[in-house]
Each structure stands twice: as structure tokens, then as C-alpha cells.
Structure 1
Amino acid sequence: MDLDLAQVRAFVLAAEELHFGHAAEELSISQQALSKRIARLESTLGRRLLDRGGQGVRLTEAGQRFLEPARQTLAAADLAVAAVLNAHRPLRIDVWGHLYAPMRTLAQVATGEPRLELGHGRDLSSVIAALLHGDIDAAFGRVHAPLPGGLTHRLVRLEPVDAILSADHPLANAPAIRPAQLRDGVLWAPGALHRLDFLRRFAESFGVRERAEGSNLGLDHFLADLAVDTRRFGLLPADVPLPPRPAIRSVPLVGPTPLYAWSLLWRGNGGHPLLDALVSAFVAEAERNRWLEYDPVRDWLPERHPAPSATP
């Protein structure tokens, strides 16, 4: 049977939003028009895909089976259109990353490439949604849970993390610190800790009971908040360029060294002619700079990987 892509798109948005009003707004149509499109799709398939009732919108068993292939169908259609209309558009890549290094990593790999358009998502969830909707072509993230179908990733960098302390902190002048030595300190997080999975897992793994949260207002604000409390500590990549600030110390973490795992994410069916070249450049740069070195005896990853792999 032939499927109407407008009907399929209406179903997918309604299934993702679980709200007809939001889905209709996304498509710039009325709720009545959205309902009609989904009803016609259900009639074509001979199966009910969504239940609408007093408890809101929910997927039926048939709808659950249909959702992922429907997403892939829309992605393929979007790529077909893009291949004709957008052959020369920039590759849209999101460099979200709080205080970590997607931008610095990308700068080492893609210097001089004029066809990159950078975005700045709020968190990994918003980045994934943008990828699924085709709003961006690629993004960075620490993949710490199964990805939705249709997305793939490749590990591109493992970043050693240092402790950032007030100059008056008792460990500020140590040549190195073991993570367990920080258990009586206060972990300072640039945002809600439940949204910062790496920091949350670090605290849980090394027994850091006290945590403090603030807004992510940039590096200077982050360091200023650390400097005023001698019990606080933060975590930053070991090679992040810190501004000159006598009230702050950066001390290596050892035994083990925490590593932040950055992956490049994209839709599994590719779609942009620059994407393959970008992935190949990351692979070459990772090998040249030894970005993927990992020793389970020496290093710590929240996911407790037996060994990182550079393959999807």
C-alpha cells in the first residue's frame, strides 16, 4: 500500500508529543486537521495507532510497532528532498556541552571548513530531538543510555578531568588528588545535577554526599563561585584554558583519572555530503592525539566500559 507522508508525519508528531494540540501547532494546522490525517492513516492500515481519551493520548500496540519505521520513512523522505534542494547547504552541527569541549574538539578537526553551521542545544535530550526532527545533521554528547532508533554515534574523545578548587582549599597545593579524597567536599555543579549525568555518577561513585547547584552562566561565573567557598570543588577538562585567577587551582585527578566520553551523533542514514568526511577527520585526529586511550586500572568511566571503541 502507498502511505501519505503528511499522514505519517502527523502520527509521528502526535506520538512523540502525546498531545494533539502541540503536534498540530508544530505542523501549523488545526487539531481537527491533525485528527483527520491520523484517522485516514489508521483507515489505510486497518489498525488503530493512537487511543484518545480522558487519560490523554497513548500509543496502541500497533502504534508502538509502527512508530520507529514511520520515523525512518520520514527521515528517508527528508533526505531525498535535501539531496535535490540542499546539496550545498552547510552541515548543521550542535556543539552543546556546558563547560566541556565540543567546540574545542571541533576546532582541532574542522579548521578552515567554511560549510559548518553551529548550534547550541540545552542538553543531550534537546540535541537528540533536533537530530530526530532533522533540524541538525550531527551533534556531540556523552551517550550514557540507549539511543532512539535511527541514530548512531562514534566515540571521538576521552577527556581527562581535573579538580578545580579554591586556592584556600586544603588540597589546593597537592600535586595530584585521588577522587576519594574529595568525598568530604561539596561538588559544585553548573546546573541541576539530575541533568548532569557525569557529575551525578562521579558523586555517587566516590561517595561525595554534599552537592551544590548553580546556573550555567559561563566559565568565569563558575570559577568565581568556587573561589568563595573553601569546601567546594568542580570538575573541568584537564586541557581547558583557564583564565588567570590567583584564587583558583586546577589539580590532576589520579587513581583513577575520570574520563569524559564524547561521541559524535548523527542519523544512521547520514544525509549530508560532509558527514563522512567529518567522521573520518575525527578518527584521524583521535589517533594522532591519542584521544581514545583508556586503561581500566588507571582510568574511570561512569559506564564502566571494558574498553572504549571508536566504532559505532
Structure 2
Amino acid sequence: MDLDLGQVRAFVAVADHLHFGRAAEELAISQQAVSKRLARLEAALGVPLLTRGNVEPTGAGRRFLEPARELLRAADAAAGAVHAVGRPLRIDLWGHLYGPARTVAPVIGARPELDVELGMSRDLPAAAAALLRGDIDAAFGRVHPPLPDGVAHRLVRLEPVDVLVAAGHPLAAASSVRPSDLAGRDLWFPAAVDRLDFISRFCDEFGARAVSGGANLGVEHLPAGLLAEPGRITLFPADARLPGTPEVRAIPLVDPVPLYAWSLMWPRQSPHPMIPALVKRFAEHGRRHRWLEYDPARDWLPGEQAPAD
């Protein structure tokens, strides 16, 4: 049967908010219009989709909800594809403390035919949601499950991780540190730990404790936060540049070497026409710079699959 997308969108909005008024605000229409659209959809399907009063999906509504979301995603992607040619490829980045732009920049900088606009996103869920809404065309950062249906991703870089300490720290004289040497120690990060999947997995694996302190103001402010308390320890990608701060030492982690995984993400349905070229450029640059080297006898990945050959 032919479904009216406006009616389907009204149902999904009410099901998301469990409230007709908030759904109307999201859709920028009146509450009465939302009710009418929903009633017409239920009449066309021949079943009630939502209970009134205490608003919640019926059994039929719950079964209809995810296919309805897929329908809207497909419709939005189809509409976006019409206008994709000739406009820049919009890429959102997250994981700002670890400098995602330094991996993206050499790939797109060497290929002027890739017309790209870079933006910022708060985290992986926000970036995935923006992809599915069509607000952006691709996203770059650390990807980990669960990912929503409709999102594709490609691992593009595995980066070793160092320990950062103040020059006077007991570990500062070491030429290398094993992850197991950090067992029982607090690892400080200027961000909410529950949003740092890599750090949480590292601490679970090696017996360290993740501690949040202060706001994530970016890499420029990281040394000052580390030096604010002499005993602080943090982790940082080995290839990332710290501001010139002689009071901070970077020490390689070995046996095993933890690897931070960077991935590119894009919508499966109606991707921007430049996505294949972008994926190809990442693969070429990664091969030249050995970005995907991985030895399971030497390296540690937190639950990630080994990169494909």
C-alpha cells in the first residue's frame, strides 16, 4: 500500500516523545495536525498504533515503528541525493581530545578534487544520528558497537597510545611502560569517562581506574591539566603532537601496545557521490603510512576485529 510520509513522520515523532505536543513542536505543525495525520494513518492500516491518554505504542505500533524509521531514512536519503552532486562533502569529527582532524587533513589536503567541509560532533551517537537524518554525509572518529542500522563504517587507522606524566612523576624516567604496570592507578581524563569507550575498555582489561576531572578544552589545555596535580597520568596517541611542554613526558606503552582505532562512517542508503573516492583515498594514504599494521602477538585492540588484509 502507499503510505503518506507525513503521516508516518507524525507517528514516529509521537512514538519518540510519547507526547503529542512535543511531537508537534518537532514537526513545526499544530498538535491537531499531528492527531489528524495519525488518525488517517491508523485508518489506512486498519489498526491503532498508539494508545491515547497515557501515550505509548500498541503492539502493532511497536512492530511498525522500526520499519517506519527505515522508510523515513530512505526517503530523506533519496531527497538528499538529488542535491548531493555539486555540494561539498560534509564530514563531522569527534574525539577532539585526540585530534581527529590531523588524520583527516593529510587525506583530503592531498586531493583538492575532494570538496570537503569539516564540522564537529559531540560523540559517536550524535554523529550517527546526524548521518541518518542527512545533516552530514560522513563522520570520523572511534567507532564501536552498537551502531544503528543504516550506517556503514571502515577502519582507516590504528594508532599506538603513550602514557603522559609530569617530568617529576615516578614513571617519568622509564623508557617504556607496560599496561599492566598501570594496574591500580588512576588515569585522568578531562572528559566524562562513561563517554570514553576506549579508556573504559583499557581500564577493564588492565586493572586501572579512569577518573574524570575538568572540561575537555582540547589538546592545547591537556598539559596544564596534567600538571595541575603532579601524580596524574593520562593516555594520548603516540603520533599526536602535544604543545611544547618540557614538563610533560610521553612514554611508549608496550607488551602489548594499545592501539586506538579511527574509522570513517557514512550512511548505507544513498551515500554522497564522493564517498567512494574518500574511502579510496584513506586506503591509499593508510597503505603508504602503514596505518593499519596490527600484530595480535604484540598489539592490543579493545574488542575490535583485526583489520582486513
After TM superposition, the score normalised by the length of structure 1 is 0.91
Bigger mean CA deviation after superposition, 33-42 or 195-204: 33-42
The total of aligned residue pairs comes to 307
Superposed counterparts of 1:1-312, under 5 Å: 1-54=1-54, 57-111=55-109, 112-113=112-113, 115-209=115-209, 211-303=211-303, 305=305, 307-309=306-308
Q: CA shift at 1:183, angstroms?
A: 2.3
Q: CA shift at 1:113, angstroms?
A: 4.5
Question: 2 CA distance for matches of 1:19 and 1:155?
Answer: 39
Bigger mean CA deviation after superposition, 252-261 or 18-27: 18-27
Residue ranges of structure 2 left out of the alignment (5+ in a row): none
Distance verdict in 2 for CA 1:90–1:51, change over 3 Å:
farther
Question: 1 CA distance for matches of 2:100 and 2:91?
Answer: 10
Distance verdict in 2 for CA 1:53–1:155, change over 3 Å:
farther
Residue ranges of structure 1 left out of the alignment (5+ in a row): none
Distance verdict in 2 for CA 1:282–1:62, change over 3 Å:
farther
Question: 1 CA distance for matches of 2:255 and 2:18?
Answer: 46
Question: 2 CA distance for matches of 1:58 and 1:259?
Answer: 44
Q: CA shift at 1:185, angstroms?
A: 2.9
Q: CA shift at 1:304, angstroms?
A: 5.0
Question: 1 CA distance for matches of 2:285 and 2:104?
Answer: 10
Q: Is the 8 A contact 2:165 2:172 kept in 1?
A: yes
Question: 1 CA distance for matches of 2:276 and 2:151?
Answer: 15
Question: 1 CA distance for matches of 2:280 and 2:18?
Answer: 38
Tell me the alpha carbon deviations over residues 144-177 of structure 1, each in whole angstroms, 9 at most, x when there is no partner: 2121111111111111111111111111121111
Q: Is the 8 A contact 2:141 2:262 kept in 1?
A: yes
Question: 2 CA distance for matches of 1:79 and 1:209?
Answer: 42
Bigger mean CA deviation after superposition, 162-171 or 290-299: 290-299
Question: 2 CA distance for matches of 1:3 and 1:91?
Answer: 31
AA in 2 matched with 1:207:
G
AA in 1 matched with 2:308:
S
After TM superposition, the score normalised by the length of structure 2 is 0.91
AA in 1 matched with 2:100:
P
Question: 1 CA distance for matches of 2:304 and 2:81?
Answer: 40
Bigger mean CA deviation after superposition, 113-122 or 274-283: 113-122
Distance verdict in 2 for CA 1:22–1:254, change over 3 Å:
farther
Tell me the alpha carbon deviations over residues 76-132 of structure 1, each in whole angstroms, 9 at most, x when there is no partner: 322333333442111111012121242111112111356212221111111111112
RMSD after superposition: 2.0
Instruction: Give the share of equivalent positions with the same residue, in percent.
Output: 59
Secondary structure, aligned partner of 1:262: strand
Distance verdict in 2 for CA 1:118–1:59, change over 3 Å:
farther
Secondary structure, aligned partner of 1:165: strand
Secondary structure, aligned partner of 1:211: strand
